[in-house]
Structures are given as C-alpha cells and as structure tokens.
Amino acid sequence: MNALSWLPELNQRYGLEIEESKIRKFGDGHIHQTYLIELDNQKLILQRFNNKVFQRPDIISHNHKILIDQLDTRVLPFQLPLPLANKKGELFTEIQHKYFRISPFVSGTCVNEIEKAEHAYLAAKAFAQFIVAGIHIPADQFQEAIPGFNDLDLRYHQLLEAIKNTKRKIQGELDEIVGFYLDQKNLVEEYNSWKAELPLRLTHNDTKINNLIFSEDFSKVNAVIDLDTVMAGFIFYDFGDLVRTVACTEGESSQNWNKIEVDQLKYDALLSGFHAGGKGVFTKEELDSLSFGGKMMTCIMGFRFLADYLNGNIYYTIHYEKQNMLRAKNQMCLLRSLIQLDA
Ligand code: GN1
Ligand code: MG
C-alpha cells in the first residue's frame, strides 16, 4: 500500500493541495511522526499523531481550544503554533483510523543541547512567560491529556508494577539501576508535600529543550512547541524538565557515564531566566519549590524509561533493545549529581 495513502483525503479535509514530494520527515520527538510540508507560499508541520500514547485526542483538543480562546498572547513575545482547524473546525483529522493534525511552521533552530548559559536564560524565561500568559485561567478547566503524567507518586507505583511483572531478569547492571530508583522514595514523599501546598497552574509539562524554537542566531525564542501535555501542573515541573535537559554536561542519550553531571552555570542561568519570566506572579513557595523540580523531573524520567524497559519497550521509540535502560542509567547519573549539589 502507498505509504501516504491518506494524503488525498487529508488535502480534501483541509482544503489544501499538498503533493507527496513536498513532504519530508522532520524533527526527533519520541512520540509522534512529524513531517515538514513545503508549499510554494507556506510551510506547515504535519503530524501523524500517536494515539496509543495519547488515547484521548478529544481532551487535547479541549485543552487547545481553551488556549486559543483564553491565553493572554499579549504577554507572549514568541509564537505558540497551535493546530489549525480543518474545514469542519476540528483540530484533529481522523483518516483510516489514524489521527493527523497540521500546524503552522515556525522557522528557527531546535537543539537537543544548549551551548551557552545565555540561551538557557532565554529558554527558562520563555517557559515561565508561557505560565504567566495562562495565570488567569482556572487550572481545573483543563483535562488531563495523560492521567497522572507528571505525578511522581503514580510513576513510582507504575515502576513497582513493572518490576513485579517484568519478563526480564533483574540482575547485574539492571539490578543496580532498579535499586537506585527504588531508593528514591524520599523524593516521592517530598513531591506529595509540595503537591499539598502549591497552586495548580497552566503548565507546559514537557519543557525538554527541543520543545522550543530559537531564532537562528539564538538571540531570542521564536516559539514554544509540543503542546500536547499543556494542562494543569506545578511550576516546578516546567523548571525541572529544563534542568534535566539543559543544566547537564551531557544530553539524555549520552553514555559517557562519568561525564554526566550538573552544569552549574547553566543551572544558575535557568533559575534567573525563570525568575525573570515569572516576576511578580510566582509565589515565594512556588519559587522555593524549583530546586526540587530538577531532581523530581530527572527522577520521573528515570522511573518512566526504566518501567518502559521492564515492560518490553512499549512506549518510547527505541533504536536498540537496551536503549530505555541506558536512558534510565543516564538520568540516574544526573540525579545523583543533582542530589549531591543540594546536600
Ligand atoms: C517525550 O516527544 P518528546 O520527545 O518531546 C515525553 C516526555 C519526556 C521525553 C523524554 C508525551 O517527549 O515526557 O520527557 O520524551 N513525552 C510524552 O525525552 O511522554
Ligand atoms: Mg518534542
């Protein structure tokens, strides 16, 4: 069967005339298949949506419609490329049991690692400004795109389940990694106490650095992208995922175990950027929670990568069998360094 057999219907549903030769694979997200469409007069992003991971596209549409209607874009000095509606006004288009969506293309540079502290500052400021732009929207209007997505307690229990049910032999290196994550119960307890104390906000929840587009010269942020998990959350989630992906000497896929540690200069830049973006809005308690965020988000990714490995790699895209285990090992090295920093 033609790989793009859905294209004629897609064109019809959006009133477009995209030819197969104008479509190419784009980006390196772990979840959806993303394509760039280059038409004569415009560029668009097409995504074939992963509805195994996000089983409720209707919830994502609900959340995105709130953003379209209520977000205070006047305070956003960058673009937020929300999906474009098809001819029926839907943000998703279902064809042959597959879900597609199209959004505006924003030019610029997407990176997996940041070179300079100034860029870390800009990224953190932008993600904080995003929270500020939604500060007036009651967080309970949003529905959970993935239930308990950033709930450390739930993810810990999912890891326990995975350990109980795994077909893999937990021995050697795997045993060491499993033991390390089981020892993080104190972070789970700390999570539960922050949860009882802090207000829920509109947060992005997946502020990995490649979910942001810089201008070509890195002088500013052009867009915040990957908006599927935009929903209610705590500000330390968004700060924390930045710490995890920016304030580290090696990226999430590195296997230079001895070199993986916190980059203090970038950490400090993230902190000032986030404070600057949320100035006058974030409460003292929220700002106090930020240093927990880095540890918490690194830990949760470790839990999730490890659980996925134990479950037989059903969630994340992998290129070889042990990749999820080694991703969990990478996060373990970073988490050790973050914990040491706070000690
Ligand atoms: C996934 O799709 P991507 O790469 O932006 C994941 C995030 C993880 C990240 C780890 C919906 O994000 O939670 O932090 O991988 N997104 C989802 O690299 O699970
Ligand atoms: Mg992404």
- Please tell me if the CB atom of residue 31 comes closer than 6 angstroms to any atom of ligand 1: yes
Provide ipTM, 2 decimals.
Answer: 0.96
Say which ligand is closest to the CA of 303. 1
Q: What is the pLDDT of residue 27?
A: 85
* Residue keyed to tokens 């500000």: 235
Residue in 84, 121, 113 with CA at minimum distance from that of residue 100 = 84
Structure tokens, 269: 């830049």
Give 214-257 pLDDT, tens digit per residue. 999 999 999 999 999 999 999 999 999 999 999 999 999 999 99
- Please tell me if the CB atom of residue 295 comes closer than 6 angstroms to any atom of ligand 1: no
Q: How far is CA 6 from the centre of its chain?
A: 28
Domain boundaries, the chain: 7-104, 117-342
Q: How far is the CA of 112 from the centre of ligand 1 (A)?
A: 12
Q: What is the pLDDT of residue 109?
A: 95
Report the CATH fold assignment for 7-104. Phosphorylase Kinase; domain 1 (3.30.200)
The model's pTM is: 0.95
Q: How far is CA 204 from the centre of its chain?
A: 7
Mutate to test the pocket of ligand 1, among 155, 206, 250 (most ligand atoms within 8 A of CB): 206
Q: How far is the CA of 82 from the centre of ligand 2 (A)?
A: 14
Mutate to test the pocket of ligand 1, among 208, 243, 309 (most ligand atoms within 8 A of CB): 208
C-alpha distance from residue 179 to each of 159, 303, 305, 329 (Å): 12, 11, 14, 12
Residue in 98, 97, 96, 63 with CA at minimum distance from that of residue 82 = 63
CA dihedral for 199, 204, 205, 208, sign (positive or negative): negative
Nearest-angstrom CA–CA distance, 223 and 316: 25
Give 151-197 pLDDT, tens digit per residue. 999 999 999 999 999 999 999 999 999 999 999 999 999 999 999 99
Confidence at 2, pLDDT banded by 50, 70, 90: low
Q: What is the pLDDT of residue 48?
A: 94
Say which ligand is closest to the CA of 53. 1
- Ligand 1: residue whose CA is nearest its atom 14: 206
Mean pLDDT of 3-20: 94
Confidence at 343, pLDDT banded by 50, 70, 90: confident
The answer on pLDDT for 21 being more than 70 is: yes
Say which ligand is closest to the CA of 45. 2
Mutate to test the pocket of ligand 1, among 26, 28, 31 (most ligand atoms within 8 A of CB): 31
Average pLDDT over all residues of the chain: 96
Q: What is the pLDDT of residue 30?
A: 80
CATH tag for 117-342 (out of 3.40.50.300, 3.90.1200.10, 3.90.440.10, 3.40.640.10): 3.90.1200.10
Q: What is the pLDDT of residue 1?
A: 46
Q: How far is the CA of 152 from the centre of ligand 2 (A)?
A: 21
The letter for the amino acid at 70 is Q
- Ligand 1: residue whose CA is nearest its atom 7: 206
Give 78-100 pLDDT, tens digit per residue. 999 999 999 999 999 999 999 99
Q: What is the pLDDT of residue 28?
A: 76
Q: What is the pLDDT of residue 284?
A: 97
